Structure 1
Amino acid sequence: MMELFGVRKKPVSHYATQFLQPLAWGFVRLSVKFSRPISILTLLRMQADMLHLAILHRQENVFSLVKKMDSFLWEWKAAPKHEQGHNVLHLTAELVISSQVSGAALQMQRELQWFTAVERYVHPSLQEQRNEDGKTPREVFTKQHEGLVEKGEKWMKDTASSCSVVAALIITVVFAAAFTVPGGNKEDGKPIFAQSKAFIVFAVSDAIALFSSISSVLMFLAILTSRYSEDDFLESLPRKLMVGLVTLFVSIASIMVAFGATFYIALSNPWNRIIIPIASGGCVPVMLFAWLQFPLLAEIFSSTY
């Protein structure tokens, strides 16, 4: 709660500044009370400054508040130019590093989301306006984010390369396991334990591991061969990375289930007491992968959707 009392010796704009400053910190639930009426021009200026502060400080709540306001909406969308001939879209094109986002790729995605949101909100004429350097907002955005695009590309490629190696190893193992079934084969070539429930679990989990690991490799290959344009960081690359990580997790979980089923088939009679503890050990790699990669997956999902 903040009250602003008008004093004759100071203009209303002085208190408007006090009102706008908390908005840069993300505080939007403010109650403003003036002891004397203010002009429409002053109120319009305050509302336009709210939009600029929300963009410069990347405050989603304040920006949403401005979008919900109906008064003087057309004037906001046709906001005047500022220093160096920048309009509000030029201000959005400036690089603003946020501590709330980890990783260059996600930072680039956040910057694109802001630029796209403001671009849709402002008057279409602002998209083609040029500043004193003769650059449009999109050109300013490209220039400001060149280094971030390079860092994001490197992070994406390193992550995809590491994960694709793991997925390729899983493909090799499960493909070989499909032709060396546990317990061996009969003279007619059929598996000895074909009617066993454990064998069915092995066959299904081995097939799931093979299909999911191949899908994971294809997703990571798509990341490695991407053009890495600016717009790719908005949805295309994050979505491919999410699919790749999820399918890799499924393949790891499936191959551990296949291992447990194989262990049960091979040692069910003489090692009954230790089968369950040893087979349960297969949960450790799955839980470890989930513990290490789930925060990254959750952050990508929340930032994309």
Structure 2
Amino acid sequence: MLRAAPFIKRSGESKLRHYYSLEFAKQALTEIKSGTSTPEILEYILTSGVVLDAASRGVFEIVDLCLKYFPELMWDTNFAKKLIIKVVEGRHIKLFRLVIKNYPIRYLADDNYMNFDLMEAVTKWSSRCESPDVSGAAFLMQRELQWFQAVEDRGFLSSERLTYMEKKKSYWEKFVEQREELLKDARQWMKETSSSCSLVATIIITVAFAATFTVPGGNDGNKGIPIFLNKGSFMVFVVANALALFSSITAALMFLAILTSRYAIEDFLFSLPRKMILGLTFLFLSLVFMLVAFGSALMIVLSERLKWIYIPITLLAAIPIILFAILQLPLYGEMVESTFLPRLYRLLKFCK
């Protein structure tokens, strides 16, 4: 507790500084707008690069405040273009939503130079493109592909799409070329993760299959019927064991499909992430069902002697599930959201 206290204190102080900094910025903008003529302030903001620098660094609050107090900024087409390019280069989804809300990008569709600048921005790779909310190199590659597809699908090539088809191909080639190292890391991440998970799935298959023929309590010597067949806990064991076996087999097949994939860069957009998510889902389910089967087997064996045994068994079986929920569920949720409900596509659909 003594070690955790300084961290909590620093976190609270950081949030407090952020809050008061934001309040100070609001107060300053209010005073500036009321005490100085608007054209002079707009000229200063446009020439100083304050908003563009904040957008490049992903400081949403500053950009939001400036656009709220001075919406006239987005009337300047050159400023709007530069702002959009900075946001795309930094891969700031929240800022992208803000910008296209104030200045719908479809108004820039007829500007071919703007189209090319945006394609240059989305194909450019730098350390700023890496995001802390992405689970592994494979999903970082997926995020990059989503940005490229979003920029392309929004019609940034305008009516000259066919004329500049060769140019668009060069952008794709440049996109792939600049992400060769990321593609290698994504392939390695997928292979290593699939190999580890398939090993776990194989172990569960072996255990669940063996448990089918070695039921708790044994079988009747004459008829071969399980002795505890009429017990409710025995039926729980049978059902849970069967579900664990089927889930682990499905998970192993999904990971096998990943290991035998061609690992083309396009596969990291939908195909491979979906297989990985499905494989992890069935693997997690098989672990849960295995714990349920194990707990019910213990209750069958010990319930005659220890009537209260189901309480500690239930608590102990819940520990791994709770640990998984705390440690892995946020990352798993990010994988699911990135693949099936990507924020980038949702905001673009909303702003059409």
- Fold conserved (TM > 0.5)? yes
For the aligned residues, what is the CA RMSD?
3.0
Match of 1:63 among 79, 96, 117: 96
Q: 1:229 to 1:52 in 2, by over 3 A?
A: same
Deviations, residues 223-276 of structure 1 (Å, cap 9, x unaligned):
111211112111222221111111111111111111111111112222334453
Deviates more, 1:203-212 or 1:43-52: 43-52
Tell me by how many angstroms 1:222 deviates.
1.4
Match of 2:207 among 163, 168, 173: 173
Q: 1:279 to 1:52 in 2, by over 3 A?
A: closer
TM-score, L = length of structure 2:
0.74
Question: Where do residues 30-69 of structure 1 align in structure 2 (5 Å cutoff)?
Answer: 30-31=67-68, 33=70, 43-68=76-101
Tell me by how many angstroms 1:19 deviates.
4.0
In structure 2, the residue matched to 1:130 is: 167
Code of the aligned partner of 1:31: K
SS of 1:190's equivalent in the other structure is coil
Match of 2:118 among 76, 79, 88: 88
In structure 1, the residue matched to 2:249 is: 214
Q: 1:19 to 1:297 in 2, by over 3 A?
A: closer
CA contact (8 A) 2:248 2:283 kept: yes
CA contact (8 A) 2:303 2:309 kept: no
Take 1:142 and 1:178, find their aligned partners in 2: how far apart are those partners? 50
In structure 2, the residue matched to 1:257 is: 292
Code of the aligned partner of 1:202: F
Code of the aligned partner of 2:283: L
Q: 1:272 to 1:33 in 2, by over 3 A?
A: closer
Listed as ranges, the gaps of 5+ residues in structure 1 are none
CA contact (8 A) 1:260 1:280 kept: no
Code of the aligned partner of 1:220: F
Question: Where do residues 221-260 of structure 1 align in structure 2 (5 Å cutoff)?
Answer: 221-260=256-295
Identity among equivalent positions (%) equals: 39
CA contact (8 A) 1:55 1:63 kept: yes
Tell me by how many angstroms 1:279 deviates.
5.2
Q: 1:77 to 1:109 in 2, by over 3 A?
A: farther
Q: 1:274 to 1:171 in 2, by over 3 A?
A: same
Tell me by how many angstroms 1:199 deviates.
0.9
Code of the aligned partner of 1:22: A
Take 2:323 and 2:45, find their aligned partners in 1: how far apart are those partners? 59
